[in-house]
Amino acid sequence: MRDIKYSIIIPHKNTPHLLTRCLATIPEAEEFQVIIVDDASDPDLVDFEKFPGGLRANTEIYFDKKGKGAGYARNIGMQYAKGKWLIFADADDFYNGCFVTAIERNFESEADIIYFSATSVDSGDLSPGSRHLGTVRAITNYNSNDISTIDGLKFSNWEPWARLFNHGFIRDKLIQFDEVMVGNDAGFVLKAGFLSKTVAVDKSPIYCVTFRKESISFIIGDRAFFERFKAKVLVNNYMIDMKKSYYRPLKDDILESRKYGFVTMGSMLLLARRYLSHKLKMKLKATFVFL
């Protein structure tokens, strides 16, 4: 039996060359279980006979044909995870040279979540980026005796990368990813942060997040715009339920939606109205508590 310490879960869709780059930064060692879940990639873009990772001894590949997005793929990956720690990567990102050393010195930790720092680059020319700055700020400001900095660590950044999640904690709390096309990771990160009792911080920049204009996070268009808006509403509702103040404003999105026509704008207004009603409900509930 392999002595698996870490289960690294990577959702993939249509970027085999970038997945190959990501895998090259992960050791092919028995203590690492690498789980790739392909989210219905296009056979015109992916050679399934020579799929990245297929020849690696510590790598498992699962092909899902439903096309439900990265959240669904990550949930599939967690079903097969065996390590003490869960680690999540995007196929178009990669790990920095300090990755193994940093996680190994934290392996014995009993924390629910361990937070690390990160870097960022343009995926194409590897020029420096800015997507990591929020993570760096939260890590730098962290003070275990200051609740505001602990909340900043847990709730100000919604991506699961550059963290170790205690597998037992995630399993016991039944935390899963939202199965939506955009923002699937935010709910997982926020729920885990809210339910965690102990956290730890290591300032090592173990992960490099990339900017790629083809990514679903940056695609321009009415459908993509609406999906990103839905993700904001979903996360705002999480924040309200947890009585935390890390909201994302909706006003500017609604104003910008005018360029996509009345149908998109009307749909967003309906979503925003439900959000505001929920927010009002929570305020009323809090008011009655104090009466």
Q: Helix H segments across the chain? A: 16-23, 70-80, 99-104, 133-141, 147-155, 167-172, 184-195, 222-241, 251-256, 262-290
Residues 47 and 109 in one domain: yes
Residues 84 and 165 in one domain: yes
| pLDDT tens track, the chain, 291 positions | 579 999 999 999 999 999 999 999 999 999 999 999 999 999 999 999 999 999 999 999 999 999 989 999 999 999 999 999 999 999 999 999 999 999 999 999 999 999 999 999 999 999 999 999 999 999 999 999 999 999 999 998 889 999 999 999 999 999 999 877 666 788 899 999 999 999 999 999 999 999 977 665 545 567 777 777 777 777 777 777 777 776 666 777 777 777 878 777 787 777 777 665 555 445 434 433 332
Q: Which of 161, 191, 211 is the last residue of a domain?
A: 211
Asked whether residue 130 is domain-assigned, the answer is yes
260 burial type by CB count under 10 A (0-12 exposed, 13-18 middle, 19+ buried): middle
Q: Which of 157, 189, 211 is the last residue of a domain?
A: 211
Find the CATH number of the domain harbouring 156. Answer: 3.90.550.10
Residues 35 and 177 in one domain: yes
Asked whether residue 134 is domain-assigned, the answer is yes
Quickly count: other Cβ atoms within 10 Å of residue 80's Cβ: 13
CA distances (Å), origin 20, targets 14, 28, 103, 260, 287: 12, 13, 22, 37, 54
Residues 95 and 117 in one domain: yes
- Cα–Cα dist 273/90, whole Å: 33
**What's the distance, CA 107 to chain centroid?**
21
Q: Which two tokens stand for residue 11?
A: 């959702």
Residues 255 and 193 in one domain: no
Asked whether residue 216 is domain-assigned, the answer is no
| Coil, strand or helix at 211 | strand
Residues 94 and 150 in one domain: yes
Residues 95 and 58 in one domain: yes
Number of domains in the chain: 2
Asked whether residue 143 is domain-assigned, the answer is yes
Q: Which of 159, 182, 211 is the last residue of a domain?
A: 211
Nearest to 177 by CA among 158, 196, 163, 157: 158
| Coil, strand or helix at 246 | coil
Asked whether residue 80 is domain-assigned, the answer is yes
At 291, the amino acid letter reads L
Residues sharing a CB contact under 8 Å with residue 2, sequence separation 6 or more, in sequence order: 30, 31, 33, 58
CA angle, 185 as apex, 9 and 167 as ends, to 5°?
Answer: 50
Residues 111 and 56 in one domain: yes
Q: Which two tokens stand for residue 258?
A: 């005018």
Residues 124 and 79 in one domain: yes
Q: Which domain holds residue 141?
A: 6-211
- pLDDT at position 276 is 59
Residues 90 and 178 in one domain: yes
Q: What's 17's DSSP letter? A: H
Write out the H or E segment, with its range, that includes residue 67.
none
Asked whether residue 58 is domain-assigned, the answer is yes
Are the beta carbons of 44 and 18 closer than 8 angstroms? no
Residues 157 and 235 in one domain: no
- pLDDT at position 257 is 77
Residues 21 and 155 in one domain: yes
Asked whether residue 1 is domain-assigned, the answer is no
Residues sharing a CB contact under 8 Å with residue 176, sequence separation 6 or more, in sequence order: 75, 78, 188
